[in-house]
Amino acid sequence: MRILFMGTPDFAVASLKALVEAGHDICGVFTQPDKPKNRGHKLAFSPVKEYALTQNLPVFQPLKLRDGTALALVRELAPELIVVAAYGRILPEEILNAPTYGAINVHSSILPKYRGSAPINWAILNGEKVTGVTIMYMAAELDAGDIIRVAETPIDPNEDAQTLTQRLALLGADALVQTVSDLQSGAATRTQQDHAQFTYAPMLDKSLSPMDFSKPAQQLHDQVRGLIPWPCATMMLGGSTVKVYRTDVGGGTASAPGTVVQADKKGLAIACGDGSVLEILELQPQGGKRMTAAAYLAGHPIEACL
């Protein structure tokens, strides 16, 4: 099938690669404009652009989508289908309706739950045990289109958003290839979402980072997992703010929430509001590198209160 692909981050690369390897004709790739990166502010390509160039695919980076130029380009490319995976731009209806088969989206949640920009993170933050990928027709309303296919997967209790994103990218790529095949054969189904059941997964920001040890240990463990790799959960330790990268839920304690109940070569543990402890396994001090809690304590001793 002749496909126009739209995507930007690593998550989208798996879908584009799967379409290429399945033999589809990728007539063009839309991705976000190059952005300054690191201290040198050198313009960096998106992961999708980097992969597309290795395959000699034509890459387009429109600054605007509603002034008519993008629509003219889409019509010139004449795709049979538009596939979108984490493009990061809202498409006008004229573009969605241009191809014969319309436009479909690879969304990393089980819709209608977690519409929006950060579904993987919010699934973990909210303690979900199962998530997945939905392939849907695109509609004017964000992530509200009819569902074609859903692929589910359990969330490992210690899995963070970064590793789950990698798994869902592959799961979505496989579901996408199957969906395109079904569209070609006429076997694709179409199921309207139950809009009354939708939830929203807004963008992340640093206000989500501070850890409140009056909360249950499991909730804090989910906070740490859900905010990796950015903005990361944070806590005060020895008068300084540190980023927390890896934790585990420990046993019970009678100590007040926030009390350091262990701080030695075996690690760091802090009492939480439900009477459990949260074991801090890996952290990063300001201006430092990521390290084990035991390594941090070796240079920054803290006294436990038993």
Span 97-114, pLDDT tens digits: 999 999 999 999 999 999
Span 52-95, pLDDT tens digits: 999 999 999 999 999 999 999 999 999 999 999 999 999 999 99
Span 117-169, pLDDT tens digits: 999 999 999 999 999 999 999 998 999 999 999 999 999 999 999 999 999 99
Q: Looking at residue 35, what is its pLDDT?
A: 87
Q: What's the rounded Cα separation, in Å, for the pair 276 and 263?
A: 16
Do residue 29 and residue 172 come from a single domain?
yes
Do residue 124 and residue 224 come from a single domain?
no
Do residue 121 and residue 266 come from a single domain?
no
Q: For residue 107, what is the domain's CATH number?
A: 3.40.50.170
Domain that holds residue 262: 206-299
Q: What's the rounded Cα separation, in Å, for the pair 24 and 3?
A: 7
Inside any domain, residue 149: yes
Do residue 26 and residue 164 come from a single domain?
yes
**Domains identified in the chain, total number:** 2
Q: Mean of the per-residue pLDDT values for the chain? A: 95
Inside any domain, residue 9: yes
How much is the pTM? 0.94
Do residue 191 and residue 223 come from a single domain?
no
Confidence grade of residue 39 (pLDDT, cut at 50, 70, 90): low
Inside any domain, residue 306: no
SS3 for 5?
strand
Closest of 123, 127, 124, 96 to residue 110, by C-alpha: 123
Do residue 96 and residue 156 come from a single domain?
yes
